[in-house]
């Protein structure tokens, strides 16, 4: 389930997984897979701390909220609109609460989700940037204070809400943890994953 997070530029924003059978993430109306998120953050963690970092990031953007779809309607099987509705037609919400866990093998459905999102979206390139002077990090136009950016990373580490199935994390997520622990960039240097691995409130 996507959750609300605080940003510097846009106030409260929505970020997270939206279907347990996919490792695709949404940031408002921007969509990308977990491997790209982990790769960008891992690269950032290993860069020089006082130099502004910037990298291109290909994503899919759904311009219309109607084309994004209604997550709660799709979860409850009321109606299936937009891209999210299409994903729940393909992969319905599980019948039992115990089965509601993020699949650590969600990467296996990437081709299907690329196909599903294509009619609703356009391909764009955003910039992943850091601003050492203000201690802010930007994903496209959305800027985060360091502490709030850390919450995005912790969300991915946990497998969002409801967490990774059996607490098994994908290789990309484990590699992100290792990069953060080795890195010295100010944007990630104070981030602790294991110690802060509490359930989101």
Instruction: Please write the tens of the pLDDT for every residue from 77-120.
Output: 999 999 999 999 999 999 888 899 999 999 999 999 999 999 99
- What length does the chain have? 201
Query: Across residues 170-182, what is the average pLDDT?
Result: 95
Residue 58 has pLDDT above 50, yes or no: yes
Count other Cβ atoms within 10 Å, centred on residue 48. 11
| Rounded distance between C-alpha atoms, residue 118 and residue 48, angstroms | 37
pLDDT of residue 193: 82
Query: Across residues 179-191, what is the average pLDDT?
Result: 92
pLDDT of residue 201: 39
Handedness of CA 172, 109, 32, 158 (dihedral sign): negative
pLDDT of residue 98: 87
Edge to edge, the sheet with strand 11-17 lists 3-7, 11-17, 24-27, 30-33, 54-61, 122-131, 136-139, 142-145
* Selection from 113, 82, 124 nearest residue 20 by Cα: 113
48 vs 16, residue with greater confidence: 16
Element (H, E) at 122: strand 122-131
pTM of the model: 0.94
pLDDT of residue 200: 45
pLDDT of residue 183: 93
Residue 158, C-beta contacts closer than 8 angstroms, at least 6 positions apart? 164, 197, 199, 200
Q: pLDDT-derived band of residue 132, with 50, 70 and 90 as boundaries?
A: very high
What's the distance, CA 172 to chain centroid? 13
């Amino acid at each position: 389930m996507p959750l609300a997070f605080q940003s510097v530029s846009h106030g409260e924003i929505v970020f997270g997984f939206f279907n347990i059978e996919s490792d695709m993430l949404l940031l408002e109306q921007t969509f990308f897979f977990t491997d790209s998120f982990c790769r960008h953050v891992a690269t950032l963690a290993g860069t020089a701390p006082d130099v502004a970092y910037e990298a291109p990031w290909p994503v899919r953007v759904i311009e219309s909220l109607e084309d994004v779809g209604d997550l709660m309607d799709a979860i409850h099987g009321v109606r299936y609109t937009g891209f999210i509705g299409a994903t729940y037609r393909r992969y319905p919400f599980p019948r039992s609460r115990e089965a509601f866990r993020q699949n650590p093998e969600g990467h296996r459905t990437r081709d299907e989700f690329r196909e599903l999102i294509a009619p609703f979206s356009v391909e764009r390139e955003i910039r992943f940037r850091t601003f050492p002077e203000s201690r802010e990090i930007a994903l496209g136009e959305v800027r985060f204070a360091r502490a709030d950016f850390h919450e995005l990373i912790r969300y991915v580490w946990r497998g969002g809400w409801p967490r990774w199935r059996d607490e098994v994390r994908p290789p990309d997520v484990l590699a992100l943890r290792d990069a953060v622990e080795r890195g010295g960039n100010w944007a990630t240097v104070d981030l602790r994953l294991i110690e802060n691995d509490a359930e989101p409130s």
